Chain A
């Protein structure tokens, strides 16, 4: 199918984009990399009156160091994140998870900001942002505000981004020296996650000093597995200890059921994959 008719604007600054969004009203949609929006338009699951393409705003692209933060522009493509030395060194988990997204062509187009703002619970990067306590900078007509990842994801496809607002950058604390791993389970190599586990672990003297675990596709939003994190801290990084802690992974989840996996199977997978992710992260 081809999309229904829409108007198209390509602003060159965030201020212009915000203005266009406010002018476009309820039916306006923001186009980032198009990974999800283009198929949705093609299937006519969405019929926006106007598309606001953020592709012409240079300030939304790029990765920089800002004190103890690594700051990634919302329009930075996956491909650029995977290859970035700052990300690889300080936010390794993000690079690892991003590398599993879709295929190479999509990774050249899809963006971190687009993925987080779309907030598909099967998307891979929400769990990473949540686990790593990222902060999301949102611009509106009255300036910018910063929202912690823990307040960002509200429901299916729903975030703290308000009407007339745009996600501009994502700020990650540095996890230099941490071990990390993204364990993804899907039906085919390039499919969405059936379940995936994002884990970052700091091991000190053979035992786990700090743990961050985020879950993909185990509820209506990305979920932080705080029960697992608590159970891991102070434990030796052994298979038995990690698996015992991983059993708590289903606390607070509401796994979806679909043709690929019913909820009980997803819950089982989450336990197995959490064990694997944490052990791999702990090295």
Chain B
């Protein structure tokens, strides 16, 4: 693998680290006997680049999933069969890859089989064949992406070995209030990912308290002084586990105090559903009673402090390796080059799911973002290196009207690397979907002789690719990229400032 990475004009926070993160993922789900990676980071006159939802893994996934399709074409094989022949089988986990990562769990067969059924893979292949045979102006392509990624950043020692400028642990604190309510302080701060909801669920489960009695505090260093924050699909698999560890400490302290108050040996105390009971008796105390007793501190063991409050810092031993199979049905109007995403099915294996609605929302948003990269979004520069579509007036973004209703499913092969069996999900959609779309675009028009179309695959690019493949040269007129406000409709070239009559 030889990678030339565009850093832009200067370095940002982790710009040069992004390709390095991707370096571990070019082998993806496949069993490679050998692998060499070299990377040159290049300064250009463009805007700086930095980590963006997926960071390194989308590039790696794009490369390997595109190559798998090209390989299938070269060998005359079905692209899914070829993938299956080469991927790590479910019984081979844990599996140490050529990059030295150990994938703890996964089941690519299960996700792929479900996705193929939901998608009607065989039926769509037949339809594709029929459209090709009849010379239908609207051709059908099937795009495949069987991705995995490393997330849940990250084991601090691994980051150290890569000279990264920080560790990868996360911090949590739990305060058991005298009122019976619970305050949870997390170092991972949400900007829309639903941490309050998911973390409240976890704490409610761990401590046996009502969900609505948990308050999650974050985002202000006066409240939460310690943490490494939300990125790399780490909030649940690192920050969430830190909360579990803090909750375990709360339970251990509460158990000691409960044993004291119930006049029993700690070994005889059982904790279930928020209540400590003496084994074999009906004597028990709720965790809220224990919290109040700790607050009053009238009666507690001599060898403990009168508090259940606990802190934890969790440094993961391994990354998280979610995976999934994404299938896209793409229709291309060969007369105009228009690309229509007709159907999108994905089955993601994200281990145990804390909150299905949040997980689905993450997948939906990620898909829209990854699909937009393939079909719509582009930063345009003129010859002087000026960004010419730097506002949302002229930067193309899709809306819901440009996307189909996604058919998303989850299968769960629990992670063995953390006590909840959870995997990261925040970046799955952006990592998997871009190559699925581009593979689908090429699959639709490959029989016309097209071998590549640059992203985003706009109608103009697709039309030109078809023309050129068919031996009809198209005259590319010089494009006036200096159209500030092109999204307003038109700009008068004689009046480029756009002064309106």
**Interface check B297, CB cutoff 8 A:** no
| Complex-state Cα separation, A272 to B333, whole angstroms | 11
Asked if A189 and B389 sit within 8 Å, CB to CB, the answer is no
A187 contacts across to B, CB distance below 8 A = 376, 396, 458-459
Interface size on B, as a range, is 35 or more
Instruction: Determine the chain A residues whose CB is within 8 A of the CB of B476 once the complex forms.
Output: 262, 264
Tell me whether A191 is interfacial, beta carbon within 8 Å. yes
Q: Is the CB of B485 within 8 A of A45?
A: yes
- Residues from chain A with Cβ under 8 Å of B499 in the complex: 45-46
Q: Does A45 lie within 8 Å of B474, measured CB to CB?
A: no
CB-contacts of A78-130 with B (<8 A): 103, 118-123
Contact with B along A192-217 (1 / 0, CB 8 A): 10000000000000000000000001
> A188 and B396: CB pair below 8 A?
yes
Q: How far is B500's CA from A29's CA once the two chains are assembled, in angstroms?
A: 9
A47's nearest neighbour on chain B, judged by CB, is B499
Determine whether the beta carbon of A264 is less than 8 Å from that of B497. Answer: no
A241 at the interface (CB under 8 A from B): no
Within 8 Å of chain A (Cβ to Cβ): is B122? no
Please determine whether B485 and A43 come into contact, CB atoms closer than 8 angstroms: yes
Complex partner residue of A259 from B380, B463, B490, CB under 8 angstroms: B380
Interface residues of A in 128-160 (CB under 8 A from B): 155-159
Residues of chain A within 8 A of B221, CB atoms compared? none
Are the CB atoms of A40 and B479 closer together than 8 Å?
A: no
Q: Is the CB of A157 within 8 A of B501?
A: yes
Let me know if A238 is at the binding interface, CB within 8 A: no
Give the contact stretch, choosing among B107-115, B139-147, B398-406: B398-406
User: Which residues on the B side are within 8 Å of A260 (C-beta)?
Assistant: 458, 460, 486
Q: Within 8 Å of chain A (Cβ to Cβ): is B338?
A: yes
A231 on interface, CB distance cutoff 8 Å: no
Chain A interface bracket (under 10, 10 to 19, 20 to 34, 35 or more): 35 or more
Q: Contact at B492–A40, with CB atoms within 8 Å?
A: no
Q: Which residue of A lies closest to B396 (CB)?
A: A187
* Chain B 449-501 residues near chain A, CB threshold 8 A: 458-460, 463-464, 474-481, 483-490, 492-495, 497-501
Residues from chain A with a CB closer than 8 A to the CB of B490 are 120-122, 156-157, 192, 217, 256
Contact of B487 among A121, A159, A192 (CB under 8 A): A192
B501 CB contacts on chain A under 8 angstroms:
118-119, 157-159
B489 and A37 contact, CB distance less than 8 A: no
Decide: A268 and B458 in contact? CB cutoff 8 A.
no
Which residues on B sit within 8 Å (CB–CB) of A103? Answer: 399, 401
A192-B489 contact given A259-B389, A265-B463, CB 8 Å threshold = yes
List the B side residues contacting A185 at CB < 8 Å.
336, 338, 459
Contact string against B for A residues 240-283, beta-carbon threshold 8 Å, 1 for contact and 0 otherwise: 00000000000000001111111111001100110000000000
Query: Contact: B485 with A262, CB < 8 Å?
Result: no
- Which residue of chain B has its CB nearest to the CB of A37? B500
Q: How far is the CA of A109 from the CA of B487 in the complex (A)?
A: 18
A132 to chain B, nearest CB (A): 21
Chain A residues near B458 (CB, 8 Å)? 187, 260
| B474/A265 in contact, CB under 8 A | yes
Contact residues in A for B96 (Cβ distance below 8 Å): none
Cβ A157 vs Cβ B500 within 8 A = yes
If A187-B458, A259-B389 touch, does A272 touch B489 (CB 8 Å cutoff)? no
Could you tell me if A261 and B460 are in contact, using CB atoms closer than 8 angstroms?
yes
| 14 A-B pairs with C-beta separation under 8 A | A39-B488, A40-B500, A45-B488, A45-B498, A103-B399, A103-B401, A185-B336, A188-B401, A188-B402, A190-B399, A191-B396, A257-B480, A259-B479, A265-B463
Since A40-B500, A190-B401 are in contact, a sample of 16 more A-B pairs with Cβ atoms closer than 8 Å, ordered by chain A residue number, is A36-B500, A40-B485, A40-B498, A43-B485, A119-B501, A121-B489, A156-B490, A159-B501, A185-B336, A187-B458, A188-B402, A189-B399, A192-B488, A256-B480, A257-B480, A262-B476
The 7 closest A-B pairs by CB, nearest first: A189-B401, A156-B492, A120-B489, A122-B489, A45-B498, A262-B477, A157-B501
